[in-house]
Chains A and B, each alone.
Chain A
Amino acid sequence: MISRRALVAGTAALATTKAFAETSHLTRGLPPGLTGALGSLPGKRPLLELSQRPPNYETPVSYFTGPITPNDAFFVRYHLSEIPQIDAAKWTLNVAGKNKISLTLADLKQMPATEVTAVCQCSGNRRGLSNPHVAGVQWGYGAMGCAKWKGVRLKDILEKAGVPDGSVEVSLNGADGPPLDKTPDFVKSIPLWKAMDENTIIAYEMNGEPLPHFNGAPARVVAPGWTATYWMKSITDIALLDKPFDGFWMKSAYRVPLGLFPAIDRFTTQETATNTPITEIMVNSLITAPADGARIAKGALNVAGLAWDGGRGIDRVDISLDGGATWRPATLGEDLGRFAFRPWRFVAQAQKGPLTILSRATNRAGQTQVAKALFNPAGYHHNVVNAVSVTVA
């Protein structure tokens, strides 16, 4: 299906032209090695470059102008550097249940289609803001995006293969792989209940287009509400399991201390006495305008942003202009569903001098953003109240 030649060609395509960001792209609080350099990947507008191989690129805050993130602005995250170019016409999805079945893209497109608008957010989004800093890709605010995904319910695919009694998890493997055979391949699992959830799909369209190469062409897992580690790109193999999957990327990676975060969704077959796999996205918000560090005129100041969570839905966003002493509600915008970015806006009266704007989202379960990050060794789930500082002249 995938030749090494194609693979090498795909990697060589990464040879890019480079532009360097203005200082406004630099996010406050990141480690000193971050330069704010923009790099361009084929099919993408310039994105903030975190690493070239494997490619890790995030969306600059200025690109988040609405609840949908355009495909060419969507962040790119890979763990392993062998990323094949896949011929969609030859691609197959192998599913092991009661029976082993193999589905082509044409097969998938003949099955009942469904759509869901959902945020795809890296577990480590904002890791670069961890205090103290922790090793890993030093993401700022942009390892996330929201798209309208179209595809087939995973439930329908699993039922086509037959779900054996006693199944507890579903494993997910994609086409990417490590350059060394001793490096654990990136394979994940989700609980059977999440796999059978009506919103969990195998998506072959993103915002009405085929998936971009760097976002999982020709089809990927969409697990609304859950962090992107489960959204396996370029999915090739799915299996129903009668015991917990014990690969490295489940057993050792993507874990958070048990009880540290107020997650409602649990992954009980993978929990230990001390930690648990990360599950749903924590409620969060981002101020998209004005830009941090901007100089603005006094008077009416339009503040805009996004809020999102793990699928309970956003109840409210509050804004503070006095360091958190008092809060006033922002006006929520278009509702594309409980898994989507919820836009919001707020009009502030800006007086001359320095001004810091804080945004804090609360979801329908009553969860809200934290004032100080809940430190954890891998730097996951950073959802500190967002702050933007400007100078009013």
Chain B
Amino acid sequence: MRIITSALVLLAFAVPALADEATIKLKEAPGVEAVRNNCAACHSLDYPITNGGFLDAKGWTATVTKMQKTFGAPISDADAKEIINYLAANYGK
């Protein structure tokens, strides 16, 4: 029941699928599009907000790497770098 290709998932979630999730406001800053285009495939974008303020660049790198390696998120290394920079700058320690 969960066999969908990653590409399809990304297409499906590239625009917020839920009206409610549109109320989640990430800080508008360089890299936010990479976050929206990758992270929202699997989870709402409130995670960086609730996890904001205590992870440094190393902590956010560990989190994003976990999403790639452990959870199999098809995030390119270039996007991962952009996401980490965004999170560390806007939701960092």
Partners in one complex: yes
Q: Give chain B interface residues in 26-76, CB to chain A under 8 Å.
A: 41-44, 46-47, 49-55, 59, 62-63, 70-74
**Most chain A CB inside 10 Å of its own CB: which residue of B4, B47, B63:** B47
Of residues 76 through 93 on chain B, the ones whose CB sits less than 8 Å from some CB of chain A are: 91
Q: A51 and B63: CB pair below 8 A?
A: no
**CA–CA, A140 to B71, complex, Å?**
26
B66 to chain A, nearest CB (A): 9
B15 in the interface, Cβ–Cβ < 8 Å?
Answer: no
Q: Determine if A138 and B20 form an interchain contact, defined as CB atoms under 8 angstroms apart.
A: no
Docked Cα-Cα span, A178 to B91, in Å, equals: 26
B47 touches A184 (CB 8 A): no
Tell me if A's interface is mostly helix, strand, loop or mixed: loop
B55 nearest CB neighbor, chain A only? A135
CA distance A137 to B51 in the complex (A): 8
Contacts of B47 in A (CB 8 A): 51
Inter-subunit contact A52/B2 (CB<8 Å): no
Q: Which of B46, B51, B59, B91 contacts A52 (CB 8 A)?
A: B46
* A138 and chain B: residue at smallest CB distance: B50
- Contacting residues, chain B, for A12 (C-beta < 8 A): 18
Complex CA gap A81/B46 in Å reads: 14
Residues of A within 8 A of B70 (CB): 184, 248, 252
Q: Is A210 an interface residue (CB 8 A)?
A: no
Given A135-B55, A181-B3, A181-B4, also A51-B43 (CB < 8 A): yes
Q: Is A84 an interface residue (CB 8 A)?
A: yes
The contact sample of 17 A-B pairs, CB cut-off 8 A, is A11-B18, A32-B53, A33-B51, A34-B50, A52-B21, A54-B43, A133-B53, A133-B55, A138-B50, A177-B1, A178-B42, A179-B2, A179-B4, A180-B4, A181-B72, A182-B74, A183-B71
